[in-house]
Structure 1
């Protein structure tokens, strides 16, 4: 596999990174360039790759033996697993330059950066050499001409002022999963992150907020006007919306809940009443619920709905009317594997299982974890004193609330489940450029 001498970096976003054995180790998220004291274009020193568990690491350009828009292949050697941190004399090409408003000489034509090319010299050094700039037209709905210019002919690339838009960076990030996009936002300066978050549509922003640390959720929500913030909360799952509102002062909670549609706000208000660390506080109030006279075919059609998470779609809860929580009398549940084995015309009332005691709203989290592990369940029903289904605790809820509070924060040290921040190891960080003893041998 040959490497072209010129590579456009935006086309590398999300490209898979492979070791010499053909095993995927992560995906490209950005390129790192080192600024020079002269007017020479910045030198590209490596790529940023995202590995499983959202860890971003630095890949030295000297370790890469093949790079193109289809795949990046590493050579043999030790892979440094230290978390990537940008140095003061470096820039992240996509995060820092995409959408920057610049001027192209001669003539001083204004435009926005849509891509940057890195080029390899005869000596093997990679530098940022060309910039793709879309001209600003000033006419609504009309896209300007796309120009390519040498790095030295573009003014405004190294300025630190707020001269960036959002459209092109959003286009690069649009195919990411919400968790990956949330991770990418954490790499950006606060103002840039909030600007990009605000540019997302309500549904996409709701999904991303659910994957961010609490302090980032609160800051982004605070940057929206209250009507928009209420709209975003309506798009979130009630349990995620309740978790976010719990981070706000009670007066602000009330304002946002009053701005939400009543049918969206009511389940969130109910969840906010439960004691933290109990089944009521971590459950979803919108599991899949059907009456006993529904057929197996109807249940299978319901769990196929694409907006359902895998944990929620793994089972159907059966109850008497009404079908919204709190329901009528709870009867039991049917796992999707049982649905696949039964004739489509059979009724759920004939295949329902009720041999496992449901949770109560005040059941503590350790007991929930123990019972779900004992019975190998991905969800458990929660009923009130009147035997009405009020929600379900799913395995992702349990994991989310069992991990350390700051587990989504990429700056937090790695810890085991249940280990407090005070128990985190101490010590001085090691430079990401140093080899890591015992690392992954490519």
Structure 2
């Protein structure tokens, strides 16, 4: 493996691009798979978990890795696209060993693992040879001192640790998008999911929950104390929060709604009154809403909000006061592509599309999809009988309901059939 350093720290591998010999990117490193061995033998590195561009995680054996350095990983080009499934004898370094509490053999002091290093032996096998720890014991001159120790210098990896922290795994994945972090959590054990969720702040956890399957959402929410669960639901988009609450037992759902801020709970309760596969059940109650006297500059400033999805940011909705849903009378929509061609001082009311009748909350999923296709839209207003704006439906929410519930698994099965 020419060109590879003699030692590679695992936390620095997270997110590195993986290339084939032609320089084409295969995916990104998400974890390292090792096999623990008896006694003091260092774990053997079996391979890497690599996320390919369909968000599927595959296993890349170390025998297929030709180079590892601080900037990238290069493979032989022969990659099995089957989904990675962790075996009972396998351990994920980032997912399971970081933040583990261990004992330093020489002193008996306890320490927390914040990184680990692997290196290639002369046999060409890769092993996990070094453990980077931060300890707080009194035997050292100052608390929080860091050490890089040989694997043989520490104890504690063989036991399952309850209440394991998540500080260092989250540091390794800090730059990861919410959807990618959701994928990491989905592949971990329920124990680690619970521990990592507990360490995330409310905003980050809300973003991740919105990207997880319903079963994982319910499991993670059940692992939080009730007050924190309510806080996280408040941060979520009202439509996603409503979908999640609808999956909970009735008494649990009501308790959480009672603990939420009244305004946030009111939005969620209103969405819960609609059937799931209708415009009302699909819509978000928080699109970008502006008054008629707003300028193009005002509109563009609103859609620059990084928390808006591309579909929600593609259109503004102009209404009479009040501007909270349900609003005053709906006037029309402003297409951002059109607004970009107008002077910033122009009033949005002068460039509105007023020809869209809008959807009704009881319109079926089929009617919603036909509406979007007919008018070439990625979002659409939902109006009540009085012409007030109730919310907006976006194309991503429609696709979530048009595709079968197991579409990710179905895609994987198709890939596996072609791989055999």
Relative to the length of structure 1, the TM-score reads 0.90
What is the CA-CA distance between 1:38 and the residue it aligns to? 5.7
Q: Deviations over 1:326-374 (max 9, x none)?
A: 1111111111111111122211111101223311101111221122123
- For these two proteins, the number of residue pairs brought into alignment is 416
Q: Which has the higher contact order (CA 8 A, sep 6+)?
A: 1
Q: Deviations over 1:411-437 (max 9, x none)?
A: x4438xxxxxxxx88xxx89xxxx935
Aligned equivalents of 1:151 and 1:37: distance in 2? 12
Asked whether the 8 Å contact 2:279–2:368 carries over to 1, the reply is yes
User: What residue number does 1:436 align with?
Assistant: 419
User: What residue number does 1:336 align with?
Assistant: 336
1:52 aligns with 2:49: no
Aligned equivalents of 1:341 and 1:282: distance in 2? 31
1:414 aligns with 2:414: no
Asked whether the 8 Å contact 1:94–1:169 carries over to 2, the reply is yes
Q: How large is the Cα RMSD of the aligned pairs? A: 2.0
- The 5 Å alignment of 1:11-30 reads 11-30=12-31
Q: Aligned with 2:419: secondary structure?
A: coil
- The 5 Å alignment of 1:298-317 reads 298-317=298-317
Aligned equivalents of 2:44 and 2:30: distance in 1? 18
What is the CA-CA distance between 1:405 and the residue it aligns to? 2.5
User: What residue number does 2:5 align with?
Assistant: 4
Q: Aligned with 2:286: secondary structure?
A: coil
- The 5 Å alignment of 1:248-263 reads 248-263=248-263
1:182 aligns with 2:182: yes
User: What residue number does 2:218 align with?
Assistant: 218
Name structure 2 gaps, 5 residues minimum: none
User: What residue number does 1:419 align with?
Assistant: none
Q: Deviations over 1:27-52 (max 9, x none)?
A: 10111112335642121121000112
1:282 aligns with 2:265: no
What is the CA-CA distance between 1:292 and the residue it aligns to? 1.7
User: What residue number does 1:84 align with?
Assistant: 84
Question: Residues 71, 287 of structure 1: CA spacing in aligned structure 2 closer, same or farther, 3 A cutoff?
Answer: same
Aligned equivalents of 1:6 and 1:280: distance in 2? 56
1:165 aligns with 2:165: yes
User: What residue number does 1:395 align with?
Assistant: 395
User: What residue number does 2:155 align with?
Assistant: 155
Aligned equivalents of 1:346 and 1:151: distance in 2? 67
User: What residue number does 2:73 align with?
Assistant: 72
What is the CA-CA distance between 1:311 and the residue it aligns to? 1.3
Q: Deviations over 1:362-404 (max 9, x none)?
A: 1111221122123221100100101111000011111222222
Name structure 1 gaps, 5 residues minimum: 416-423, 438-442
Asked whether the 8 Å contact 1:41–1:127 carries over to 2, the reply is yes
User: What residue number does 1:323 align with?
Assistant: 323
User: Greater CA deviation, 33-42 or 164-173?
Assistant: 33-42
Q: Aligned with 1:123: secondary structure?
A: coil
User: What residue number does 1:93 align with?
Assistant: 93
Q: Deviations over 1:71-97 (max 9, x none)?
A: 111123x31000001122221111121
Q: Aligned with 1:114: secondary structure?
A: strand
User: Greater CA deviation, 289-298 or 7-16?
Assistant: 289-298
Asked whether the 8 Å contact 1:206–1:235 carries over to 2, the reply is yes
User: What residue number does 2:356 align with?
Assistant: 356
